[in-house]
């Protein structure tokens, strides 16, 4: 009963990271298949996985193919009801589901202006008012989850949930670009930076060499701001 997960480059593919965390963080057996997202072989590498055209792609043990991260999350919840992918408390569970769905559909300015890059950080990036608005909304979402449900640990709902898998790349963007957030969000960013799963993912990404690093920025390049 092993899942097959198809991912892009670990250093840059935020959605691939989300897909992997959905499996890794909850002990769901899986095999990793690397796809040439930046090598130009994406279509060839996804052949036989129709209708997939982006990563991540999840092939379930029964052969079902999922080509969307939110669909992957909800399918895993259905198939593994005892794995703790969402909080057990019904109110917390509803909020976590809403936060996951909003991450899936929103925050376009943050994603486009601050692409994920786990090789190094940037300082001095000039962001738009839309990114500032995204950061304000993230604070608005994190505050009730942490203050009301976060007593059991450093994660959004205390214990790790799918909400943390979906917001991990957000935290890494905030760290990588030095984006201004308040103490509550910054504490969460530090928890993500120190997570052994994130450290492992990043170290695996560093094994790949690039002639030029994707997503150059007109800003000061600094060492990665985490462990």
d(CA 177, CA 152) in angstroms, rounded, equals 29
- pLDDT score for 39: 82
CB burial string 53-71: b at 16+ within 10 A, e below: ebbbbbbbeeeebbbbbbe
Q: Are 31 and 4 in contact (CB under 8 A)?
A: yes
Note if the bond before 51 is cis, omega within 30 degrees: yes
Specify the DSSP class assigned to residue 227: -
Chain Cα centroid distance, residue 106: 14
The CA–CA distances, whole Å, from 195 to 40, 76, 81, 154 equal 31, 22, 24, 10
**Which domains, and CATH codes, for the chain?**
3-79 (3.40.30.10), 90-202 (1.20.1050.10)
* Prediction pTM value: 0.97
d(CA 14, CA 170) in angstroms, rounded, equals 9
pLDDT tens for each residue of the chain, 227 residues long: 899 999 999 999 999 999 999 999 999 999 999 998 888 889 899 999 999 999 999 999 999 999 999 999 999 999 999 999 999 999 999 999 999 999 999 999 999 999 999 999 999 999 999 999 999 999 999 999 999 999 999 999 999 999 999 999 999 999 999 999 999 999 999 999 999 999 999 999 999 998 888 999 999 999 999 99
- How many other C-beta atoms are found inside a 10 Å radius of the C-beta of residue 148? 14
3-state secondary structure of 97: helix
Closest CA to 76 of 19, 139, 32: 19
The torsion defined by the Cα of 25, 116, 128 and 107, in degrees rounded to 10, comes to -40
Q: Are 32 and 7 in contact (CB under 8 A)?
A: yes
Q: Which secondary structure element, helix H or strand E, spans residue 40, and what is its range?
A: none
d(CA 205, CA 108) in angstroms, rounded, equals 24
- pLDDT score for 156: 98
- pLDDT score for 211: 87
């Amino acid at each position: 009963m092993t899942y097959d997960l198809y991912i892009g480059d670990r250093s840059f593919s935020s959605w691939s990271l989300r897909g992997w965390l959905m499996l890794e963080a909850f002990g769901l057996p899986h095999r990793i298949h690397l796809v040439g997202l930046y090598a130009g072989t994406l279509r060839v590498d996804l052949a036989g996985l129709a209708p997939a055209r982006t990563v991540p792609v999840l092939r379930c043990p029964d052969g079902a193919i999922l080509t969307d991260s939110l669909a992957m999350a909800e399918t895993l919840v259905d198939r593994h009801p005892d794995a703790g992918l969402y909080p057990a408390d019904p109110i917390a569970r509803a909020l976590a589901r809403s936060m996951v769905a909003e991450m899936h559909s929103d925050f376009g300015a943050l994603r486009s202006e601050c692409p994920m890059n786990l090789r190094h950080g940037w300082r001095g990036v000039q962001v738009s008012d839309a990114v500032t608005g995204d950061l304000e909304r993230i604070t608005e979402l994190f505050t009730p989850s942490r203050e009301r449900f976060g007593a059991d640990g450093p994660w959004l709902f205390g214990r790790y949930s799918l909400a943390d898998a979906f917001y991990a790349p957000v935290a890494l963007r905030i760290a990588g670009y030095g984006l201004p957030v308040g103490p509550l969000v910054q504490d969460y960013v530090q928890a993500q930076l120190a997570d052994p799963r994130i450290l492992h993912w990043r170290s695996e990404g560093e094994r790949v060499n690039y002639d030029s690093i994707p997503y150059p920025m007109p800003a000061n390049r600094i060492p990665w701001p985490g462990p």
